[in-house]
Amino acid sequence: MTVIVKELQQQLAQYKVRCAGVDTLAVVLKEAKQESVTLARQKKALETAIANLQNRLSTNNLSASVNIEETDLYVPGTSKQTLDNLARENARLRSLLKNTEHQPGKKSSEEMQELKTLVEDLESDKNQLQAQLQEVESIKLVMVKQYEETIASLKKDMAEEREKMMIEIDKYKFERNDMLKNLDKDSSKGYNYRDKKSVECQTSGMQLDSVDNIKTSLKLLAEQCKQLDEDLDNLDLSGGQQTAASSTEEAVKAKDEAYHLKAKLEEITLMNQRWQVHSDAKERQHIANVSELKNEIEVWKQEAEMNRAENMRYVQIVEELQRTLYQMRQKPQIDPSMVEILKQQIQVCTEDFNNERKDHEIVLRKKKELQAEVEDLKLQNEGLKQELETLKLRRTSSSSQPSESRHMMERRSWHPGQFPTQLQQQQQQQQLPQQQYSHIQARGEDTDDIPNLPPVPFLPKTGATLQTNPPLSYGRRAKSDSPFSFECEAGPFGLHLPGDTPQFMSHSQLDLVDGQSKNSQNVRPGALGSMPPLKRRSSDIDMLKNKGVMACPKCSKEFPEDQTDILLSHIDVCKD
């Protein structure tokens, strides 16, 4: 309900201006209609008067024209002034009617219809809310009646139970008094009366007072039995055998009776205890039920009060809405000139906004175009840089190579699927030991991406040269991602010169050559051919590789991974 009321308030706030404008337009139209009706009547009356006057003039052979000519004399009078005033009013009203016709009357009528529909919807919502409130009130009344009926029934039940309890208590008291009186009277008669009373106690549920009285009576009987025993003992000593036998029989009977009375007394006490426990449990249950019912009644009362408060609040909200509607209907009219000014201002603002949006879109488009041009220029710059690097590398390699090795070596591309099979055949035929040149291995580079191929023939003992070429079909690039890698003249990773014996070398031993060509961009001729085998062990090489250090194969001097040029110059000069 609160959400609906809030929505209605928002709708009312939105349509306040429209309602006021429509009301003012309706009032203006009504006034204009009334004025037009009155003017039409006056016009008809004046037309009839003019016709009568023209008839009179025609009878007197005078001109019946209403317009004044130059030759005519103007005689002022009241009738002429009234006619002029009427003509002016007529012209003014015609202009107003024309203006109203030119104005969007259809829109105003449509707005009026929309507002009428909205008012009808609001009235229907109001009626629905009132119906809901009436239903809530009826439900509240029904609930209150039910609560009152339940309370009355509970009160009746409580009263009946109390009356029953009081009657039972009175019965117990009366029976207890009767039993006490009878016990006082019939204590000397015998045990039949006690048996009857025990049965009555079992049936009627004697209380503790009657049990105490029975205990006292039994104690008295026990004392009497003891006295009888003593008397019998005395009789045994003094009397004869017959009296002794009779006294012993009486004593045995008395003992049996006393035992039976004690057993009956225990049964009576147990029954009384059970009855007390049962009665206590019933009383507790009754008290708990009464407390639960009281709590439920209080909860229902609280709910009824909450519903009443909500009902009052809804009534106040409806009254406030009615007041706002009445105030909105009685508000002053809106000036149409202000409406025109506001429309013009809105139009100007919308035009400015559209222009700014177009300018912003143009700027964004230009920005994107410039960004694309900048990216293209960057790519071109990178390509030019790479071309310059390739030219430099080719220039250095061409200057370092001797003319003889260029003409003798033939360039071949290596296919990874063919070479390992040829190498395996050579190894099976020749069975040459593998001699690894670890002095060419690079330090600190990751060699996991190179496949574990068998060792290949590489590097002659003297006069070997290397040349940088574009990327091979198989080869590993350095970490700097340069677009070049080494390709040997005599085959894949190998040089075979006439008169030289081939040496074998693994892929890990080519890292220095690859890294040297890519990082330093300089390969010195004669440096690799003059290198003797490395004296270090594979464990030392792995250790240095993990540390990122390179060592001289002659003097074992260590150099950082970045100083490859210095290492090569040192190898040329080094003499162990």
| SS3 call for 486 | strand
Sign, Cα dihedral of 78, 80, 83, 89: negative
CA 503/CA 436 separation, integer angstroms: 8
Indicate the domain borders of the chain: 2-103, 128-329, 402-414+423-573
pTM: 0.19
Long-range (24+ apart) CB contacts under 8 A made by 238-244 are none
Contact present, 485 and 476 (Cβ < 8 Å): yes
Q: Per residue of the chain (576 residues), what is the pLDDT tens digit?
A: 677 767 777 776 676 766 666 667 777 778 878 888 888 888 888 888 878 777 776 776 666 665 555 555 544 444 556 667 667 777 777 777 677 555 555 555 676 677 677 777 777 777 777 777 777 777 767 777 776 777 777 777 777 777 776 777 677 667 666 666 665 565 555 445 555 555 554 554 444 455 556 556 666 666 665 665 566 556 555 554 554 455 567 667 766 776 777 777 777 777 777 777 777 787 888 788 888 888 888 888 888 888 888 888 888 888 888 888 888 778 766 677 888 888 888 889 899 999 999 999 999 999 999 999 999 999 988 988 898 888 888 888 876 655 444 444 444 434 444 334 444 444 444 443 444 334 444 444 444 443 444 443 433 333 333 333 433 333 333 333 443 333 333 333 333 333 443 343 333 333 333 334 333 334 343 433 444 444 444 455 555 555 567 778 778 788 887 777 787 788 878 865
First to last CA, the chain: 101
CA 88/CA 378 separation, integer angstroms: 82
CA 247/CA 241 separation, integer angstroms: 10
CA 263/CA 191 separation, integer angstroms: 14
Summarize pLDDT for 3-41 with one digit per residue, the tens. Answer: 776 777 777 667 676 666 666 777 777 887 888 888 888
b/e 143-176 (16+ beta carbons within 10 angstroms → b): eeeebeeeeeebeeeeeeeeeeeeeeeeebeebb
Q: Please give the pLDDT value at position 256.
A: 74
Residue written as token pair 């290397």: 466
Query: How many CB atoms are located within 10 Å of the residue 417 CB?
Result: 8
Query: E strands of 158-315, at which residues?
Result: none
Torsion from C-alpha of 286, 288, 290, 293, nearest 10 degrees? -140
CA 309/CA 303 separation, integer angstroms: 10
Contact present, 518 and 504 (Cβ < 8 Å): no
Residues in the chain: 576
- DSSP per-residue string spanning 504-569: EE-GGGGHHHHHIIIII----TTTTTTPPPP-S-HHHHHHHHHHTEEE-TTT--EEETT-HHHHHH
Residues 6+ apart with CB under 8 A from 455: 423, 434, 436, 504, 505, 506
Nearest to 123 by CA among 325, 327, 331: 325
The phi and psi torsions of 8 (rounded to 5 degrees) equal: -65, -40
Contact present, 420 and 453 (Cβ < 8 Å): yes
What CA–CA distances, in Å, run from 77 to 66, 82, 91, 496? 15, 9, 21, 140
Nearest to 501 by CA among 401, 408, 433: 433
Query: How many CB atoms are located within 10 Å of the residue 484 CB?
Result: 23
Contact present, 192 and 223 (Cβ < 8 Å): no
Q: Please give the pLDDT value at position 370.
A: 92
| SS3 call for 468 | strand
Q: Please give the pLDDT value at position 363.
A: 92
Contact present, 223 and 293 (Cβ < 8 Å): no
CA 191/CA 389 separation, integer angstroms: 138
CA 17/CA 348 separation, integer angstroms: 22
Nearest to 456 by CA among 416, 413, 505: 505
